[in-house]
Amino acid sequence: MSKYRKRERSDAQDVLEEFEDWLLRERSVRETTARVYVDQIVGFIGWLPAPVEESLRSLTPGAILEWVDHAARQGLKPSTLRKQLVMLRSFLRFCHRTGRASADFSAVVPHAAGWRLSTIPDPVPEGTIQTLLDSLDLQAPKGLRDRAILLLLTGLGLRAGEIAALRLTDIGWRTGTLRIRGKGDRADELPLPEEVGRALEDYVVHGRGGRAGYDEVFLTMFEPVRPVASNGISKIVRMACSRAGITEFGPHRLRHTFATGLLASGATLQEVQGLLRHAQLRTTANYTKVDQTRLTQLVPEWPAAAEGRWER
């Protein structure tokens, strides 16, 4: 069930649940995707006068554009607004096909302007990353773990989920590379910066050891020991901020900081797209291939420091 469903007024319950069922049955989307779709149109549903079913029957193109204008004035990022409009089109198609609306109004919904990297959120202030790293106790396993995680975020721009998914066999100790398991079962191999590689080695050898018999690289510190989940990576970043006495932010802002740093160093948007492994690499010809030599120049290769300890 949608996480926002209980907050919605009672006259919208049936249409929200039927929309979710329609997505699962007619569109063959995953359950998690269906819930996201439903959550994204909750704002539109809540904006309609009650009862919802009557409002949908009397829906007009003017009313739809009025809501789009209302949503655009909320100061949403272009990417967020774009997602909401995509979901709204699907919902309007559903309303027509189930007889709730007099016509298919999906074509009325405009496309939100803005390319995914046309605007990049502000990076963290200069010196912030070093402040975070300086706050860690590198004599303790936790400090070694947290340093490796922070450097993966700032040195390779990984997502929290990608860090949580790392396995010991993904680390190419001899080749100086790191295999990343990304969205959609995608796997990429990136050059491993020297500082990141050494931080991983310090944690694996001195902080993690052979604990718990897990293949995942990052483990919790207290019993019962288990792999660190994606939300655990976020918590580690926020706790580091709190410990360092700076305004809290999440791991994705460090990913954006990594991107802006590359751009400042002279990398092209295509190269940044390649390193961040955005979905456009699969769908846009300009981003389907990235020069591996150039990537190695952008992210210095790490020669194997752990001579023979682990091999692929």
- pLDDT tens, residue order, the chain (312 aa): 444 444 456 778 888 888 888 888 877 778 888 888 888 888 888 888 888 889 899 988 888 888 888 887 777 777 778 888 888 888 999 999 999 888 888 887 876 654 344 444 567 888 999 999 999 999 999 999 999 999 999 888 888 899 999 999 999 988 889 998 766 667 778 888 899 999 999 999 998 876 667 899 999 988 888 999 999 999 999 999 999 999 888 888 888 777 777 666 666 656 666 676 655 433 222 222 334 454 455 555 444 433 444 444
What residue ranges of the chain are covered by domains with CATH 1.10.443.10?
A: 128-298
Q: Are 81 and 72 contacting, i.e. CB atoms less than 8 angstroms apart?
A: yes
What residue ranges of the chain are covered by domains with CATH 1.10.150?
A: 5-108
Please state which CATH class domain 128-298 belongs to: mainly alpha
Instruction: Enumerate long-range contacts of 43-52, CB under 8 Å, 24 or more apart.
Output: 43/71, 43/84, 44/71, 44/84, 44/88, 44/91, 45/8, 45/12, 45/15, 45/16, 46/8, 46/9, 46/12, 50/9, 50/11, 51/11, 52/9, 52/11, 52/12, 52/15
Neighbours of 184 (CB within 10 A): 6
Q: Are 151 and 197 contacting, i.e. CB atoms less than 8 angstroms apart?
A: no
* Coil, helix or strand at residue 165: coil
Per-residue pLDDT tens for 82-139? 888 888 888 999 999 999 888 888 887 876 654 344 444 567 888 999 999 999 999 9
pTM of the model: 0.55
CATH topology of domain 5-108: DNA polymerase; domain 1 (1.10.150)
